Structure 1
Amino acid sequence: MERPVHSMNNLFAQLGKPSDDDAIERFIETYRPLAGAMQLHEASFWSASQACFLHEALLHDADWAEVADKLNVELHARH
């Protein structure tokens, strides 16, 4: 059975955040760059349940891991 492929829009909706492209871009621009050693789920802007979801997704290589990792890369990037 193939794993579902989730988009960044789906991830933001799952996290209860505005999930349109413009809102996602604003979110990333607002919070980047995260400190190099900070893990995605450790950022202070997540609620406890959002942080837990992201941590579990990455820790267990869940269906959401690929898109969560993409968000992690985007938030650590310096632009």
Structure 2
Amino acid sequence: MEKPVHHFSELFEQLGLASDSASIERFIERNSPLPANMPLADAPCWNEGQAEFLREAIEEDADWAETVDHLDASMRKKS
């Protein structure tokens, strides 16, 4: 069975953040780039619940893992 595909905006909704394109761009610009050695879930912009969700998505290779990887890559690019 294939995993569902989650859109980038849905990840922001899941994290309780504004999910329109402009808000997503602002969030990434404000919180990037992350240091190369910092896991995404350890970034200071997350609350405890958000960090745990991100950590579990990757560790468990959950449905959200691919979308979380996209967020990770986006937050490592220099603006």
Structure 2 length as normaliser, TM-score?
0.97
Uncovered stretches (5+) of structure 1, i.e. residues with no partner: none
Provide the residue aligned with 1:62 in structure 2.
62
Uncovered stretches (5+) of structure 2, i.e. residues with no partner: none
Matches of 1:69 and 1:34, distance apart in 2: 13
How large is the Cα RMSD of the aligned pairs? 0.6
Matches of 2:17 and 2:46, distance apart in 1: 10
Question: Aligned pair 1:50/2:50, yes or no?
Answer: yes
Matches of 1:3 and 1:36, distance apart in 2: 29
Tell me the percent identity. 48
Matches of 1:25 and 1:69, distance apart in 2: 16
Structure 2 letter corresponding to 1:26: R
Alpha-carbon distance, 1:2 to partner:
1.4
**Aligned pair count?**
79
Provide the residue aligned with 1:10 in structure 2.
10
Provide the residue aligned with 1:29 in structure 2.
29
